Chain A
Amino acid sequence: MSDNGSVGKWRRGRSVAPRVDRLRAINLPRRAIVELDAEGRPVALELRGKGEGGRGKGPPHSLPVEFVGETWRIDDEWWRRPIARRYVEVMLDGGGRVMLYEDLITGEWWVQTP
């Protein structure tokens, strides 16, 4: 399973062990194209559709960012395949609160519900 969709071991509490091959991760990030200003803050967001890697249906559409809120960083799993993300909370023009993150290793932008 890919990095974004991988799952770990099961916690106790279920009498019958679920079949791991049928697991589907929830809240996978969606690929996005983000236009940045000079300070590296998002000013517009273009979604490519649903699915990891930008796969999805429908044409891409651009949405201007009206407000940039909190920003935080996650660094994890440095011992095997490092993950480094910069999350940014933005409010889109016309409403809509979206969480974006920049993959600091590949430089790609993604949309994800925290």
Chain B
Amino acid sequence: MSRVLTSDHAVCVWIPLFPLRLEEARRPELGTRPLALLDPHDGRRVWQVSPLARRAGVRPGMTIGQAIGLCPPLMLCEPDPVTYDERFAGLVAALGDVSPVVEPAELGRAFVGTDGLERLYGGPEAQLAVISSVVEEWGKREGGRGKGNAGWLYPSPFPLPASPRLGWARGKFPAWVAATRAEPGDAVIVRSGEEQRFLASQSIAVLPLDADTHRRLWQLGLRTLGALAALPEDAIVAQFGRAGRRLWRLAAGRIAEPVIGRPAPQPIGAAVDFPAPIADRLMLAHTLERLVARALASPRRTGWRVQVVRARAALEHGASWMTEVTLKDPSADRDRIAAPLKVRLEQAPPAGAVERLTVEFLAFTPGTTELQLFARDAASAARAGRRRALHAAAQEIKTRFHRPLLHHVVEVQPWSRLPERRYALIDLEP
């Protein structure tokens, strides 16, 4: 098992609307019109929206009908997730030349660990200059690659990397917030010790919130991180549980989440080329299962459970299809890994016949202490899942009420003639 590299100081490299910018890059005529990308998982909804379309009222998640109703000249674009992913993987690999600690967060956003780089490059400004030039070089290289998966010619030089936003800070969250405050092609530096002051004036929208939590904070009159951090931590925990504690600490600058380098093992994949393109979903689902089983059998996977799995397909006529699943409960069981992929296959099937199907395990968690790794039947896997869910609930209750309210019943002296001696309660401690 290889050691996981971490870094407290981080640079956030952010290219907003990365997939949309790629589409605009390969079809420059789209740049002057309102544009929306369709959701790869639900072709009836829009996924990413250009500023022109947003100005007309189009928002991510709207149905196509709603979007067209609001903006009749809207251009809708089929997504090409495989290309987006390949391009982003290229960016992450390029950033790996600057630092060994690179953590991709989402398409177009990655964190670079900078601990120790000062002796190599100098201070934060010099580090940012190096990263900026690496991104620029990557863009030129990508632009020179010529054809993308769909056969379109990319313009050269590639226009995207000219406008990454960079943020330097101690911890991923302040670095991310700094990047959101930076102008395109520029950087914002938050020096150590200044995190709290910097964060205090930022909007709560920068927090990793779900819509409901955001709405509740808004209803409570909390608009900035400073307002949130001014409240007692316990009050936020009482309202929002463990998630609230993390939010409060992020807002108050109390935690600095480190950049975590890509954990070992490296991605494991299995692929199959069909002699004749396949469109039958049952056949594809069966093939997915076989590929998952083949990838699981890789010796590199031993001792690890799969957390992120991706299936991608090369379709007829140069199109592509891709879906990625993060397993809530990492697993080493074929059926548990294949099940969400098959659901995605049913919900958002490939738009054409498949020529090549690939399954990749992208992220792993250590699996040596988990029952699930050794579970050979559905019942034991379900038991393990229930136990984990119960422990998570117990942890949540303990966090909220400061004492455990769930208990085990344990035998003490079941043979005793005194009823109160037979059984006892013990705190359920996850």
Contact = CB atoms under 8 A, between A and B. Distances in A.
A105 interface: no
Interface stretch (A16-24, A33-41, A58-66): A16-24
Given A14-B410, A26-B409, A7 B426 contact: no
B426 A26 contact: no
B420 A19 contact: no
Interface string B392-423: 00000000000000011111111011111111
Interface string A25-62: 11111000000000000000000000000000000000
A6 interface: yes
Which bucket holds chain B's interface residue count? 20 to 34
Contact of B413 (A7, A18, A19, A22): A7
Contact of B423 (A4, A19, A27): A27
B426 A8 contact: no
A19 to B, nearest CB: 7
B425 A23 contact: yes
B419 A8 contact: no
B427 interface: yes
A68 B412 CA distance: 31
A98 interface: no
Interface in A61-107: 74, 76, 83
Interface in B335-394: none
Nearest to A11: B411
B410 A24 contact: no
Contact of A27 (B414, B417, B419): B419
B424 interface: yes
Contacts of B412: 7-8, 10-11, 23, 25
B421 A112 contact: no
A10 B423 CA distance: 10
Nearest to B424: A23
Contacts of B408: 18
A114 B410 contact: no
Nearest to A23: B424
Nearest to A99: B419
Interface residues of A, number: 24
- Give the one of B411, B420, B423, B425 with max A CB within 10 A: B420
A74 B418 contact: yes
B407 to A, nearest CB: 7
Contacts of A76: 417-418
Contact of A6 (B421, B422, B427): B421
A8 B411 CA distance: 10
Contacts of A11: 411-412, 414
A56 B246 CA distance: 39
A76 B419 CA distance: 12
Nearest to B413: A8
Contacts of A27: 419-420, 422-423
Contacts of B419: 27, 112-114
B66 to A, nearest CB: 55
- Give the one of B408, B409, B410, B418 with max A CB within 10 A: B418
A75 B422 CA distance: 16
- Give the one of B410, B416, B427 with max A CB within 10 A: B410
Given A7-B412, A10-B412, A25 B424 contact: yes
A22 B427 contact: yes
A19 B429 CA distance: 11
26 contacts: A7-B413, A7-B421, A7-B424, A8-B412, A8-B416, A10-B410, A11-B412, A11-B414, A18-B426, A19-B426, A22-B427, A24-B424, A25-B420, A25-B421, A25-B423, A25-B424, A26-B422, A27-B420, A27-B423, A28-B420, A29-B420, A74-B418, A76-B418, A83-B418, A112-B419, A112-B420
Which 8 interchain pairs have the tightest Cβ spacing?
Answer: A24-B425, A23-B424, A7-B412, A26-B423, A18-B426, A8-B413, A22-B427, A27-B419
